[in-house]
Structure 1
């Protein structure tokens, strides 16, 4: 058993209670305007604002209140990881003034990673799927090396399930249903490559998606 230690701020990383304690600590950090949603997952916070008729006042006020709440509760916003993404499907999108937090300008991006999933401002999945394919293909190299070392087929299948299939299925219940057929075909080619390396049939992306939806 480790020795006890008293901390005045924060919570020990890796401690079982740390996520619960942090959630309790930030429980009163909420949005006051119905047009603005505050999504929290551990120490990640996302603000979603609905701007109508060019009126950004409620959205910007919530941002200011969030920054003030953090300052009041001895929490520091990581401005290096803070970005703004605008979703607007109008043909003539009006230019919006830059968002600032604590005198720092927040960069506007075309996509960002939200809990492991890349969301683009056009709400399409090409960017996320492209990154997924690149990551899976990098791991296919190790699967090829295992075949060169004559690793039994059963172990190659286990390696694929743990290292490659897990990448292909990350948040699959979120994006698969609205992904384009061409993007699905691009992903499926990665599965077929793995099948040739292993020498055995593998579950298709449709089968993986269906099995995970049934578990929800």
Structure 2
């Protein structure tokens, strides 16, 4: 069972109410023991308690390598690059980029290189260029941001404010200056330049 709650303005009241209702339900249904785990898998994504994405990256890389073996077999059967690209998109790219907007922005450099190495290997097998993992991530974030901007009822709508030019959005303001130099903030800065109203 999973409880998801939105905490806004540091107000945890609604989230705590959900947890209290869950605890009451568990007690009523003799499910009062809750096991604490260091990592879990949710919708195919490995989430660790410290939100380090190496476990997720290693899992994706391992699955991708298995699928690249099939791609090699198809190439040895002399299939054309467009067919190989279609196979890659359906079997490997779709798996590598599943929920990418959630985890990729906080991956460390080594994890990003591991994923990109897989894409590079696929491109060599296919003998055709493929979009980088970073490009896919930025494109999907841009699409997601555009949807949020257009939906005034979305919980994150107020995070996007137009600059005085009216053409670009400013980055998310951090409470701490140290966040300005993290990979995540660099990604947000890139998105600011990509997302156009």
Shorter-chain TM range is 0.5 to 0.7
Deviation (angstroms), 1:152: 0.8
One of 118, 137, 144 as aligned partner of 2:46: 118
Q: Name the counterpart of 2:26.
A: 67
Which has the larger helix fraction?
2
Q: Name the counterpart of 2:92.
A: 164
Higher relative contact order, structure no. (Cα contacts within 8 Å, ≥ 6 residues apart): 2
Deviation (angstroms), 1:115: 2.1
Structure 1 unaligned residues grouped into runs of 5+: 1-29, 38-48, 50-57, 72-101
Residues 61-105 of structure 1 deviation map (CA, whole Å, 9 limit, x = unaligned): 433323367x5xxxxxxxxxxxxxxxxxxxxxxxxxxxxxx1663
Which has the larger strand fraction?
1
The alpha-carbon distance between structure 1 residues 63 and 191, as it changes in their structure 2 partners (threshold 3 A), is: same
Contact 2:101–2:137 under 8 Å retained in 1: yes
The alpha-carbon distance between structure 1 residues 214 and 149, as it changes in their structure 2 partners (threshold 3 A), is: same
TM-score (norm. length: structure 2):
0.61
Q: Distance in 1 between matches of 2:75 and 2:23?
A: 56
Matched residues, number: 135
Q: Distance in 1 between matches of 2:68 and 2:106?
A: 26
Q: Distance in 1 between matches of 2:69 and 2:129?
A: 19
Contact 2:60–2:95 under 8 Å retained in 1: yes
Q: Name the counterpart of 2:195.
A: none
Question: Over alpha carbons, which structure has the higher Rg?
Answer: 1
Q: Name the counterpart of 1:138.
A: 66
TM-score (norm. length: structure 1):
0.56
One of 144, 148, 151 as aligned partner of 2:79: 151
CA RMSD of aligned residues (A): 2.4
Contact 1:36–1:62 under 8 Å retained in 2: no
Contact 1:125–1:175 under 8 Å retained in 2: yes
Structure 2 unaligned residues grouped into runs of 5+: 6-10, 145-197
